[in-house]
A and B are shown apart, each in its own frame.
Chain A
Amino acid sequence: MQPLLKVENLLKRYAKGSLTGAGEELLALDSVSFTIFPGTTLAVVGESGSGKSTLASCLACLESPTTGNIWFEGKDIVKLGERARREVRQQIQLMFQDPASSLNPRWSVFEILVEPLILQRKFKHEEMKQRANSLLERVGLSPDIVEQLPTELSGGQRQRLAIARALALEPKLLILDEALSALDCSIQAQIANLLMELQSSLGMTYLFITHDLAMAAYLADEIAVMNRGRIVEQGPAEKILKQPQHETTLRLLAAVPRITRATRPAVEQ
Chain B
Amino acid sequence: MRYLLRRLGHALLLLVGVSVLTFLFTALAPGTYFDEMRMNPQIAPETVAALRAQYGLDKPLPLRYLSWLSSLLHGEMGFSFAYNSSVAPLLLVRARNTLLLTITSTLLAWMVALPLGIWSAERAGRLPDRLLSWGTALLLVIPDLALALGLLVFSVRSGWFPTGGMASVGFEALSPFNKLRDLALHMILPVMALVLSTLPLLVRHVRAAVADVLNAPFLLAALGHGIPKRTLLYRYALPAAANPLISLFGFSIGVLLSGSLLIEVVMSWPGLGPLLLEAILSRDLYVVIGGILFSTFFLVGGNLLADLLLYLADPRIRTESSAR
Contact = CB atoms under 8 A, between A and B. Distances in A.
A/B contact in complex, CB under 8 angstroms:
yes
Interface of A: 16-19
A17 B323 CA distance: 4
Instruction: Classify the secondary structure of B's interface with A.
Output: helix
Q: How large, as a class, is the contact surface on chain B?
A: under 10
A17 B324 CA distance: 6
Interface string B111-132: 0000000000000000000000
B175 interface: no
Contacts of A18: 322-323
Contacts of A16: 323
**The 7 A-B residue pairs with the shortest CB-CB distance in the complex, in nearest-first order:** A17-B323, A19-B322, A17-B324, A17-B322, A18-B322, A16-B323, A18-B323
B35 to A, nearest CB: 57
A169 B323 CA distance: 39
A21 to B, nearest CB: 11
A19 B324 CA distance: 10
Nearest to A16: B323
Interface string B297-324: 0000000000000000000000000111
A19 B323 CA distance: 7
Contacts of A17: 322-324
A251 B324 CA distance: 35
Interface in B65-123: none
A263 to B, nearest CB: 34
7 contacts: A16-B323, A17-B322, A17-B323, A17-B324, A18-B322, A18-B323, A19-B322
Nearest to A20: B322
A16 B323 CA distance: 7
B119 to A, nearest CB: 31
Looking at A16, A17, A18, which has the most chain B CB atoms within 10 Å of its CB?
Answer: A17
A221 to B, nearest CB: 40
Contacts of B322: 17-19
A103 B322 CA distance: 35
A142 B323 CA distance: 50
B3 to A, nearest CB: 12
A18 B324 CA distance: 8
A18 B319 CA distance: 9
Contacts of B324: 17
B311 to A, nearest CB: 15
A48 to B, nearest CB: 20
Contacts of B323: 16-18
A18 B2 CA distance: 12
B154 to A, nearest CB: 47
A113 to B, nearest CB: 30
A253 to B, nearest CB: 33
Contacts of A19: 322
A18 B323 CA distance: 6
A19 B318 CA distance: 11
A16 B320 CA distance: 11
Nearest to B322: A19
A42 to B, nearest CB: 33
Interface in B236-255: none
A28 B255 CA distance: 47
A19 B322 CA distance: 6
A17 B321 CA distance: 10
A16 B324 CA distance: 8
A18 B320 CA distance: 10
B256 to A, nearest CB: 37
A72 B324 CA distance: 34
Interface in B268-324: 322-324
A221 B68 CA distance: 77
B11 to A, nearest CB: 24
A16 B319 CA distance: 11
A11 B23 CA distance: 53
Nearest to A17: B323
B54 to A, nearest CB: 56
A173 B155 CA distance: 75
Nearest to A19: B322
B38 to A, nearest CB: 61
A205 B322 CA distance: 42
B321 to A, nearest CB: 10
Nearest to B323: A17
A16 B322 CA distance: 10
A120 to B, nearest CB: 36
B94 to A, nearest CB: 44
Nearest to B1: A19
B7 to A, nearest CB: 18
Interface string B221-235: 000000000000000
A98 to B, nearest CB: 16
Nearest to B2: A17
A19 B321 CA distance: 10
B79 to A, nearest CB: 49
